[in-house]
Amino acid sequence: MIQEGEIFRRPVKDMKPYSPPIEGRSAPNFLRLDFNERTRPPHHIVQEAVRDYAARGEFQIYPEYGDLNEVIANFAGVTSEEVIPAVGGDQAIDIITRLLVKDGDGVIIPAPTFAMLEESSHVQGANIIAPRYSGPNLKFPFDEVMEAIKPGVKLVVVCNPNNPTGTPVPKEQVEAIIEKAAKVSAGVLVDEAYNDFAPELTVVGDIGKYSNLFIVRSLSKNMGISALRAGYVISRAENIAELRKIRGPYDLPTVTALAIKTLRNPEVVADIDAYVSEVMTDSKPMLEDFYRRNNIKFFPSSAGFHLLEEPPGFIDFLRARNILVRRRPDPLGTVRVSIGTKEDTQAYIKVVEEFLRARDK
């Protein structure tokens, strides 16, 4: 066997693949509170669009997108030149990182956060600087991030609200980061995947003000189409033009584009609003009151999930009763629990009450 030298890039060789516990969770009897998915199916109009496409059987034809950009832009409140659809938030993150970062560049990614943010930077060979969320409420490390923004840094990442901690970053802090990053010719990626749950945090209104701002959003969670992988980037038109050079011309599958286009129907948008409202107005306060009354430590969250200190045996007990939640390696000893509908929340609370009784015997 002839081997004349390493053909793989060292940053990739040094990585481990991101392998979330995704297998074995699709059984219909599970209440899935482990991946921040919407717990009810998408609106029937979305489902009908997918079924109609499947019934036509035209899978041999490459995608064409028509007014997809216009539909997304109208939903996001920007112009069609200021958005680019992507295969989920993951691809959106990837193309921004590939646009801005090369071997040896500094990338500031406060930790812990969504794994794909670090993954994309590792692939590019970046030097990752990771200030820590800390304190009793896992506060965003604003001072440390500002201190780290120096020449040689090419990208600063702000996940707002953050996953998995749920931490909000005040808008004025995000803007201060953007302004300082601009002084060292660095871009800022603001991951707003959970924007629907905390719309007051968005910096979408700053697109015209800052040329170095890139916003990533997801349609997977709010529409209930995680299986179709739907996301997009919002940025200045000239930045979007550069991203188009990186994203493939037909990366987004036809079925995903058709599902997204149902956003032109007011019923679909109203369905998103109703789901988010139920999670944040009904379920979340119910859960927080339950946690407090039962001395279950949880961290304040601005998103549709909570990070808890994991009681011993908690995850296995819930899974045995068909409820899935997700252990987080960082912070150590924590578990993330998605928040679903009021009915889902009542079912979850009932099982946790059973767990507490069994533990306290």
Among the candidates 265, 293, 327, a domain finishes at: 265
Which pLDDT score, from 0 to 100, does residue 326 have? Answer: 96
Q: What is the CATH number of the domain that holds 192?
A: 3.40.640.10
Q: What is the CATH number of the domain that holds 275?
A: 3.90.1150.10
Same-domain status, 223 and 331: no
Token representation of residue 353? 């009450």
Among 114, 116, 144, smallest CA distance to 130 is for 144
Compute the radius of gyration of the chain from its Cα atoms. 21
Same-domain status, 312 and 235: no
In a domain? residue 4: no
Same-domain status, 303 and 352: yes
Ramachandran sector of residue 34 (left: φ over 0; alpha: ψ -120 to 50; beta: rest): alpha
- Which residues span the domain enclosing 156? 45-265
**Tens digit of each residue's pLDDT (9 = 90 or more) over 168-214:** 999 999 999 999 999 999 999 999 999 999 999 999 999 999 999 99
Is the four-CA dihedral 214, 299, 225, 205 of positive or negative sign? Answer: negative
Which pLDDT score, from 0 to 100, does residue 360 have? Answer: 79
Is it the case that residue 23 has pLDDT exceeding 70? yes
Phi then psi dihedrals of residue 43, to 5 deg? -55, 150
In a domain? residue 3: no
Which pLDDT score, from 0 to 100, does residue 268 have? Answer: 98
Strand-pairing partners, residue 231, are 86, 218
Give the integer Cα–Cα distance in Å for 318 and 31.
10
CB neighbour list of residue 271: distance below 8 Å, 6 or more residues apart: 42, 43
**Can you tell me which residue has the tokens 């107005």?**
281
Place 7 in a pLDDT band, splitting at 50, 70 and 90. Answer: confident
Among the candidates 220, 235, 265, a domain finishes at: 265
Give the integer Cα–Cα distance in Å for 13 and 6.
10
Give the integer Cα–Cα distance in Å for 179 and 211.
10
Token representation of residue 340? 């679903």
Distance of CA 130 to the CA centre of its chain: 18
Sequential DSSP letters for 162-188: -TTT-----HHHHHHHHHHHHHTT-EE
Is it the case that residue 232 has pLDDT exceeding 60? yes
**Structural element, H or E, at residue 83:** strand 83-86
CB neighbour list of residue 149: distance below 8 Å, 6 or more residues apart: 108, 156, 177, 180, 181, 183, 184, 186
Give the integer Cα–Cα distance in Å for 94 and 262.
26
**Structural element, H or E, at residue 357:** helix 342-359
Q: How many residues does the chain have?
A: 361
Same-domain status, 211 and 103: yes
Same-domain status, 130 and 258: yes
- The number of CA neighbours under 13 Å toward the Cβ of 90 is 12
Average pLDDT, the chain: 95
Same-domain status, 241 and 277: no
> What ranges in the chain are assigned the alpha helix state H?
10-13, 44-56, 68-76, 88-100, 115-123, 142-148, 171-183, 220-223, 237-244, 254-261, 266-277, 284-293, 314-320, 342-359
Give the integer Cα–Cα distance in Å for 122 and 125.
5
Which pLDDT score, from 0 to 100, does residue 5 have? Answer: 62
Same-domain status, 116 and 259: yes
* Number of domains the chain contains: 2
Phi then psi dihedrals of residue 128, to 5 deg? -85, 130
Same-domain status, 248 and 299: no
- pLDDT greater at residue 221 or residue 334: 334
Is it the case that residue 28 has pLDDT exceeding 80? no
Same-domain status, 252 and 329: no
Same-domain status, 257 and 302: no
Helix count (H) and strand count (E) of the chain?
14, 12
Among the candidates 230, 265, 300, a domain finishes at: 265
Which pLDDT score, from 0 to 100, does residue 4 have? Answer: 59
pTM of the model: 0.95
Token representation of residue 60? 């041999």
Same-domain status, 211 and 314: no
In a domain? residue 135: yes
Place 16 in a pLDDT band, splitting at 50, 70 and 90. Answer: confident
Is the four-CA dihedral 90, 283, 199, 303 of positive or negative sign? Answer: negative
In a domain? residue 5: no
Token representation of residue 135? 């304190």
Strand-pairing partners, residue 31, are 323
Same-domain status, 276 and 341: yes
